[in-house]
Amino acid sequence: MARGKRRGEEKRGEVPLPSDEEGTILCVVRRNIGGGFLEVLCTDGEVYKAWIPGKMRRRVWMREGDLILFLPWGTPDKKGEVVHRYVRDEVRKLIDMGLITEEFLEEVVE
């Protein structure tokens, strides 16, 4: 392994953004349901059930109020999977870009 780079880590400084082509959405974790599922509130106002894939399950811990990148499956039961969990610095960059507001993040925590 190269020095300073961990397995599965993306290039530093690049924040994965939501894409209309891929169908990804920014969401905030409302609660942990259990069994590898989360209840998330997305920027489109919908509540989804998000599945944590195996490659993230024991490596990336998700708590209430965390901002995630979510890929809906397009099924009628409103399920999808977590693509990325944003760290504090990445959230600040998204707010500066105007993709998300601080009020949206605070709304879920209350």
Domain boundaries, the chain: 25-109
Mean pLDDT of 90-94: 92
Tell whether domain 25-109 is in CATH 3.40.1190.20: no
Residue entry with tokens 């392994």 = 1
- Say whether pLDDT at 87 is over 60: yes
Q: What is the pLDDT of residues 43-72, one digit of tens each?
A: 988 999 999 999 998 899 999 999 999 999
* Mean pLDDT in residue range 7-30: 79
N-term to C-term CA, the chain = 42
Question: In the prediction, which pLDDT does 25 show?
Answer: 93
Which contacts qualify for 3-10: CB closer than 8 Å, 24 or more apart?
8/55, 8/59
- Percentage of the residues of the chain whose pLDDT score is greater than 90: 61
Q: What does the pLDDT read at residue 37? A: 94
